[in-house]
Amino acid sequence: MYLLGLGIILLLMKWQELGPVAAWSWWWVLSPFAGAALWWTWADWSGYTKRKAMEREDQRKLDRINRQRAAIGQKPKAAPPRRR
């Protein structure tokens, strides 16, 4: 996401001819978009995206369980060890 934001900022600076970016080649200005595409391709291929989504779901589930346990006066559950 950072590469996409950087690409948008550089693109706007090149388009508006602001600062040193106005003199840069279009290849340098557009390279963060290629980096973002490579990152997303790798993240999907390696399972990184799915693993992070599962971790968020597990944390939301644990938070919900702990809120319910606190409401009835029980100790909260400890977080399970992280998977690798």
Distance CA 35, CA 10 (A): 14
DSSP letters for 9-73? HHHHHHHHT-GGGGGS-HHHHHHHHHHHHHHHHHHHHHTHHHHHHHHHHHHHHHHHHHHHHHHTT
Q: What is the pLDDT of residue 60?
A: 95
Q: Please classify residue 70 by burial: count the beta carbons closer than 10 Å to its beta carbon, then call 0-12 exposed, 13-18 middle and 19+ buried.
A: exposed
Distance CA 63, CA 66 (A): 5
Q: With contact defined as beta carbons under 8 Å apart, do 59 and 82 qualify?
A: no
Q: What is the pLDDT of residue 83?
A: 65
What is the per-residue pLDDT across 20-72, written as a single tens digit (0 to 9) for each? 999 999 999 999 999 999 999 999 899 998 999 999 999 999 999 999 998 99
Q: How confident is the model at residue 81 (pLDDT cuts 50, 70, 90)?
A: confident
